[in-house]
Structure 1
């Protein structure tokens, strides 16, 4: 009898768990508006945590708005939450004062971003800066009396002559008479705009029109923003503001970009990364960057750290002031080399890298209080891992890893606080010791509504192909019954250097909605993905189509072989951005899918170099079209080349103002298929750019997922 009880108990528990699961609803499309995310945690000296809570709030006429609030909790009593500000949508760049009594952040004021101060002992936030061109990225001085900030100066407002060679013989950049003065409303009398006058007067008239953006005058290589033209070149500089008097002082100027400023322990100088522009600023993407020292007493600027074929992005003193942490990248293979984190002496000597063997793109590095370790995070095999490098030995270990994602963290004393993504909950705040042990959940913003939801758990798999190890995951559908087969979606990520996995948060809702609608899901990280090192990331060099398609299709084949519930005759396919490209590529070569949906993709690579603001992907991966043999490679790798072979019913998504990939790409694909008489439908989202699925209008985000479901439902069959 004893043995029978032991055997029967697991069966009983399984049946009970299954029954409870079946009583829960799957994740709904409307649940997008219930998701709360946490970010930017900072531990205060008195044992509290300040962090940002982001959520969606119902507005007028069924619309929803994005909101953010600064929240404080006690580590000793996390149930006691205190909201510190009124809800807003544009809060960013939080920085806690050294004494833990005030918070600096960036928020718009009279149309410009400015630095605000929020007293944590009570009271409303007050604007601190009133910079003509705005201010952002606050960094407190060690004594808490001053704040370092960044600001931008447009090229036309620069007073000194540019250092780079004249880009056009006989002319200089922006040389239309009175252009800068007209732009500021200070037109000079000596040259009056007159369309019928002299050449000088005609030029002044044309410049006046251009000053009103009618028309837009373009004289730069990178003239596309995310959702509109970006015709002006500007330079990022550093300023300093006195907290008590609100008096600000510019620290840098000229044709040089400065960023990531940090203070010396005694507050007498600033370290900042910088690119000195000695040629046309459009070409600065080819330049390496150095760390500069800015002495506050006389505003003198000198090179602190430079290294040939390297780009430095950050420098921060250790708490004991004995070392400086630096981050950067070897630029000999700029598009594929991974991140570097290391230390130098306070005089810039003795550079020592810690992460060369780690072979990952990492960032957000922070010192431990005892100056003995540096913590940082980065994508890693389907999650976002938190790492620790010991300064003395250089040994790097994983602190928090596995199928989870660390999206922000802070360390103080012996405590580590971090925002974490899990399959069971997309975003909550946790605390542990510095080794990641003793994890304790601090917030439960998503817990109440998730308690009523069934969540599909992905199962991880691997296979070897062409020298690469490919990770893939399979998610079961809701309500699965033994002996039944279910339609399955092959989902693919963009980038191409993005990475998906259980620790990646952006697809949590979409995957769960599809699983809740009765679809199985297969997704993989094909060659070219981030999170697996340089060689893997370079695996799709001059091969955007064949190799990655081979990887994701093999993942699907293996899932079909292993999971009896996958209906091999009821397969559908979708992906966005680079994965929009890959969707179109696959249906031009493979006809197994009942339907496919390509989103905000690129379909003609030569055309892409002239249209999207991400055009550098073309020379980085293939070369320029006019170079020998490159045009043939671009044509071979363009899905548009195979448009006549597409048989699969196809839906195409694109945002009206998506300038990252360019909306003409989707127009070309749609028109071609329409002319060929193929089954195709085209959906254009007004006022939306490339980030629709992540940060676009909330109703349009839900509309997008709803249309994915509806479109696939036209072509697949579910078990009765």
Structure 2
């Protein structure tokens, strides 16, 4: 046996872990369907909490579907639990009425999203809106008599002519024959459609085909969605509906979108973020946004809060109406600058940011009832921390932090309710005081089945490299025995600005299944990861390969040095999205791994400019290929450049309709390796996009993990 320094597994812990492993089974692949998640808690005035329970349920054919239910539980006695609705798959946008007696939410109705009202004193939910363009994102007025909502309007249904030049060369807006009739959904044709007729008649025939998306006429830059083309431009607008009369009215219109809307204390106006520009909407990403004021009575719209060099995302009044909470971002370096939260006077003046030194991406802001503090969350060093800021001074403190993740929360009175991820349990609801003290668990959805499971506990490590402090974690395999070595998997996260850690929930099941199959697991947050501030996140600028690869491989080297049970001759590697890229990069430069699996990655960066809807990563990190020197940088940083150097057996995953990274990327890598006679296998998932591992078809999600296990088992040997 080779010698290693600083072995961290004492004999008694090894024996204890082995004894524990004999008493419990490890987490199984099929346990994915047992995991229940909770979220969106809302504390009611009468001391209860409403939240969403999400789970998976098998149908008559044995296939699993996603389901959600709204649940109410007493804070004083968590055993008093009531399910408030029948299982559904498309509930979203929950909002509790000011008196706590009704819940508004979004659910489809006759093919469109609409707002529903659920009375909490009993009775079935009733649909409230019947908007032609649908309705979502309900926000109750302060008096509970009205609900603000959002709706989407396609460009073809907009009134007037867009303020920008038609991007189709030689055409003007509205010049298509029969345009007016098609715009209003009518069938009348003012011009005969005839392919053999005059130019106008030919254009009418072509327009008729295009109106049926056969073919799709593309004239915009951002034409790729997640799973299909997104050729049509639409705008998000605001409406308001009277709950009693169901009479609704439009508050906004025109060629700009409005989001993150909130009410004024007296309900006379609404604040919302928007970009007002005479440029094509494809360019809105490059523009600063402002906070607009919209009067409810006369629908007058005016700029309320603006500042050059900033994007404003949200503004909400304090409960006492004396302050304004503002969220935004400094756009000088918009690809890397972190979130900002601050307060202003009720008229928007005197804005002071107080999170600049915190240097994190933040969200989920909520006022306390007394208007003295603001709570918010942020990814932070492998967890999701809940912060508190004093409204008067801007002083920030950590309420819940460490190797846990606060996924959603609510504050009311003296109580704090939050959905929490822990290594021991992926999702449960808890209550504590406003300082995070006196924590009490409210739900136990995962407790029973987890009581019969062994769970691998990660141990943290850290090292300094090239001026960066890099965090990593090591998870022991099931049945760990002293003096025995185990195959070990290096897992890597995507993004590249994602962040992993014990408080991050997306990998909980996969990590535990693989540890349960006898693999040690090492994962790290290399330079470029989120959760460590702007400097760290910018650490992979024009360096997607060398630097991040050096960090994750150093983490593996450190783990091998520390833990005697890691078999350095039986290492395997995987990662998805950006980490699919990094997997291919590493095996093109390093040959220590017995096998590797690249998932939904990008492998040729110049090609990526035209292949995925995440194409802006190329100019944001490297520049445009036609700029001086950029093509050479892209070629150097592309794993495809080194495809002939790959010796490691490689499996490649991609979804058939993944348009975030683009399926042609994996086809290129696979075909190249096949031509070169390298050991490679290619798995394509039908009807799946980029989110397969998180929200895809449940049976395919299990198939994916099963194939990971089966592939690695071909190349490693486990101890007897």
Quick check: TM above 0.5? yes
CA offsets, 1:451-507, max 9 Å, x none?
A: 000000000000000000000000000001111000000000000000000000000
Range 677-686 or range 185-194, more displaced: 185-194
SS at match of 2:640: helix
Give the aligned partner of residue 247 of structure 1: 247
SS at match of 2:214: coil
1:201-212 → structure 2 map (5 Å cutoff): 201-212=201-212
Deviation of 1:162 (Å) = 1.3
Give the aligned partner of residue 585 of structure 1: 585
Range 659-668 or range 53-62, more displaced: 53-62
Partners of 2:499 and 2:17 in 1: CA distance? 32
1:441-480 → structure 2 map (5 Å cutoff): 441-480=441-480
Q: Are 2:55 and 1:41 equivalent residues in the alignment? A: no
Deviation of 1:182 (Å) = 2.8
Against the structure 1 CA distance between its residues 621 and 175, is the aligned structure 2 distance closer, same or farther, given a 3 Å change threshold? farther
Deviation of 1:178 (Å) = 2.2
Against the structure 1 CA distance between its residues 574 and 126, is the aligned structure 2 distance closer, same or farther, given a 3 Å change threshold? same
SS at match of 1:549: helix
Alpha carbon RMSD of aligned pairs, Å? 1.4
TM-score, length basis structure 1: 0.97
CA contact (8 A) 1:156 1:180 kept: no
Give the aligned partner of residue 678 of structure 1: 678
Q: Are 2:688 and 1:694 equivalent residues in the alignment? A: no
Give the aligned partner of residue 7 of structure 1: none
Give the aligned partner of residue 329 of structure 2: 329
Deviation of 1:394 (Å) = 1.0
CA contact (8 A) 2:161 2:173 kept: no
SS at match of 1:614: coil
SS at match of 2:258: strand
1:216-227 → structure 2 map (5 Å cutoff): 216-227=216-227
Deviation of 1:351 (Å) = 0.2
Against the structure 1 CA distance between its residues 446 and 467, is the aligned structure 2 distance closer, same or farther, given a 3 Å change threshold? same
Partners of 1:162 and 1:319 in 2: CA distance? 39
Partners of 1:520 and 1:305 in 2: CA distance? 52
Q: Are 2:121 and 1:90 equivalent residues in the alignment? A: no
Q: Are 2:106 and 1:106 equivalent residues in the alignment? A: yes
Partners of 1:559 and 1:11 in 2: CA distance? 18
Give the aligned partner of residue 508 of structure 1: 508
Range 288-297 or range 28-37, more displaced: 288-297
Partners of 2:349 and 2:271 in 1: CA distance? 14
CA offsets, 1:113-169, max 9 Å, x none?
A: 110000001111111111111110000001111000000111111111212244356
Partners of 1:11 and 1:487 in 2: CA distance? 20
Give the aligned partner of residue 62 of structure 1: 62
SS at match of 2:147: strand
SS at match of 1:93: strand
Partners of 1:297 and 1:153 in 2: CA distance? 22
CA contact (8 A) 2:374 2:391 kept: yes
CA offsets, 1:22-63, max 9 Å, x none?
A: 210000000000000000000000010000000000113221
Against the structure 1 CA distance between its residues 13 and 303, is the aligned structure 2 distance closer, same or farther, given a 3 Å change threshold? closer
Q: Are 2:197 and 1:197 equivalent residues in the alignment? A: yes
CA contact (8 A) 1:141 1:147 kept: yes
Partners of 2:17 and 2:335 in 1: CA distance? 48
Partners of 2:537 and 2:612 in 1: CA distance? 22
Deviation of 1:298 (Å) = 1.4
CA contact (8 A) 2:178 2:204 kept: yes
CA contact (8 A) 1:167 1:173 kept: no
SS at match of 1:77: coil
SS at match of 1:556: helix
Range 11-20 or range 617-626, more displaced: 11-20
Range 214-223 or range 404-413, more displaced: 214-223
Deviation of 1:79 (Å) = 1.2
Give the aligned partner of residue 344 of structure 1: 344
Give the aligned partner of residue 707 of structure 2: 707
Range 309-318 or range 57-66, more displaced: 57-66
Partners of 2:31 and 2:196 in 1: CA distance? 62
Partners of 2:533 and 2:174 in 1: CA distance? 43
CA contact (8 A) 1:73 1:80 kept: yes
Q: Are 2:256 and 1:256 equivalent residues in the alignment? A: yes
Deviation of 1:189 (Å) = 3.5
Partners of 2:422 and 2:35 in 1: CA distance? 13
SS at match of 2:79: strand
Q: Are 2:523 and 1:523 equivalent residues in the alignment? A: yes
Q: Which has the higher contact order (CA 8 A, sep 6+)?
A: 2
Partners of 1:11 and 1:483 in 2: CA distance? 10
Give the aligned partner of residue 488 of structure 1: 488
Partners of 1:13 and 1:574 in 2: CA distance? 29
SS at match of 2:311: strand
Partners of 1:13 and 1:109 in 2: CA distance? 56
1:301-700 → structure 2 map (5 Å cutoff): 301-700=301-700
CA contact (8 A) 1:420 1:427 kept: yes
CA contact (8 A) 2:529 2:536 kept: yes
CA contact (8 A) 1:485 1:566 kept: yes
SS at match of 2:78: strand
SS at match of 1:429: strand
Give the aligned partner of residue 52 of structure 1: 52
SS at match of 2:213: coil
* Count of residue pairs the alignment pairs up: 711
CA contact (8 A) 1:487 1:717 kept: yes
TM-score, length basis structure 2: 0.97
Partners of 1:338 and 1:256 in 2: CA distance? 25
Q: Unaligned regions of 5+ residues in structure 2, if any?
A: 1-9
Q: Are 2:120 and 1:120 equivalent residues in the alignment? A: yes
SS at match of 2:80: strand
CA offsets, 1:94-118, max 9 Å, x none?
A: 0000000000000001111110000
Stretches (4+) displaced over 4 A: 10-18
Deviation of 1:282 (Å) = 1.2
Against the structure 1 CA distance between its residues 198 and 17, is the aligned structure 2 distance closer, same or farther, given a 3 Å change threshold? closer
Partners of 1:433 and 1:446 in 2: CA distance? 24
Range 164-173 or range 97-106, more displaced: 164-173
CA offsets, 1:278-328, max 9 Å, x none?
A: 111111111110001111121111111001010001110001100010100
CA contact (8 A) 2:649 2:680 kept: yes
Against the structure 1 CA distance between its residues 12 and 582, is the aligned structure 2 distance closer, same or farther, given a 3 Å change threshold? closer
Deviation of 1:12 (Å) = 9.4
Against the structure 1 CA distance between its residues 661 and 169, is the aligned structure 2 distance closer, same or farther, given a 3 Å change threshold? closer
CA contact (8 A) 2:670 2:682 kept: yes
Against the structure 1 CA distance between its residues 174 and 229, is the aligned structure 2 distance closer, same or farther, given a 3 Å change threshold? farther
Partners of 1:518 and 1:183 in 2: CA distance? 61
Partners of 2:447 and 2:254 in 1: CA distance? 51
Partners of 1:603 and 1:212 in 2: CA distance? 35
Deviation of 1:17 (Å) = 7.0
